[in-house]
Amino acid sequence: MNTELLGIYLNDHLAGASAGTELARRISRTHPELRVLADDVDADRKELLDVMRSFGVEPRPHKEAIGWLTEKAGRLKLNGRLLGRSPLSDVLELEALRTGIDAKATMWRTLQTLPGVDAERLDRLLRRAESQAELAERQRLRLAPRSFNAPQQTGVDVERTFTVASSPEGVVEYLRDFARTEQWDPGTVTCTRLDEGPVEVGSRWRNVSTFLGRKTELVYELTRDDPNGLQFVGRNDTATATDDISITAGSTSGTTRIGYHAHLEFNGLAKLGAPVAKLALEKLGNDTEKSLIRVLGSVR
């Protein structure tokens, strides 16, 4: 067997697997229900590394780096939005993921033709790839109508995903009370409850924060409250701010993976400040991630 050619072939697929892993993780931040798919794609990359070792093929780090960079560069594609995530991104990303999964399945079939392979293992990986393709396709077809019928938006977005050393139940309980933004949101000056009783969907808070060097007051309402996430929507005369927080169990017991997505929609002439606001919101996203990890616990 020509191991040099086999090495080129497998390392090319390793680059694709690295890009696919990054892409699947990014998709799962927006759609937590695909977290299992992202974990499986990452597991397949590790399986490929093990298969390469069984053939005596060494991974070439620059190939993996190329795959990683390819996925990052793919984020620059035109999708109808200059500053934020477009609804079209769901369709394009799932199409790209499906293409990568199909290529992976083809690779497993190719390896099945070689002598001395672990046929049972390759058959299992092939069946898993086919299952992944079906799941990605179902999700793509489900989201396509919504993507193409989405209303035109002109706001800015920032997304962060990270893991904390607290249980999902504890994270939901802590973040549910928006008054605690004083503890974890670097921009918040004060945040006070406007109503009484248990915190539930419909509960409201007055939040005073600093943004772009100015004090801003918004009234926030809890619009979603379930074990998988929370949503708060804040409004004033010039802007609407939406904080979507997805909450899923981490890879180790007692940890939680948080997906934080902030969307800021401007009204009237305030839209002219969107490019500057995007830069400020990115920095605020970084600072918010650090603060939440500090408050909820860093994973060692």
Sheet holding 214-226, edge to edge: 156-164, 256-266, 239-249, 229-235, 214-226, 204-211, 188-193
Q: What pTM did the predictor assign? A: 0.54
Q: Where are the alpha helices (DSSP H) in the chain?
A: 3-30, 35-54, 61-74, 88-112, 119-148, 168-176, 181-184, 274-296
Task: Judge whether 64 and 48 are in contact, CB under 8 Å.
Answer: no
Task: Judge whether 202 and 221 are in contact, CB under 8 Å.
Answer: yes
pLDDT of residue 268: 65
Q: Which amino acid is at 4?
A: E
State how far the Cα of 58 lies from the Cα of 56, in Å rounded to an integer.
7
Strand partners, 89: none
pLDDT in tens, 13-43: 999 999 899 899 888 887 888 889 999 999 9
State how far the Cα of 158 lies from the Cα of 135, in Å rounded to an integer.
27
Ranges of residues in the chain with a pLDDT under 70 are: 61-87, 150-154, 268-279
pLDDT of residue 122: 96
State how far the Cα of 254 lies from the Cα of 256, in Å rounded to an integer.
7
- Angstrom CA distances, 152 to 85, 125, 149, 239, stand at 12, 41, 9, 16
Cβ of 122: how many Cβ atoms within 10 Å?
A: 19
pLDDT of residue 147: 72
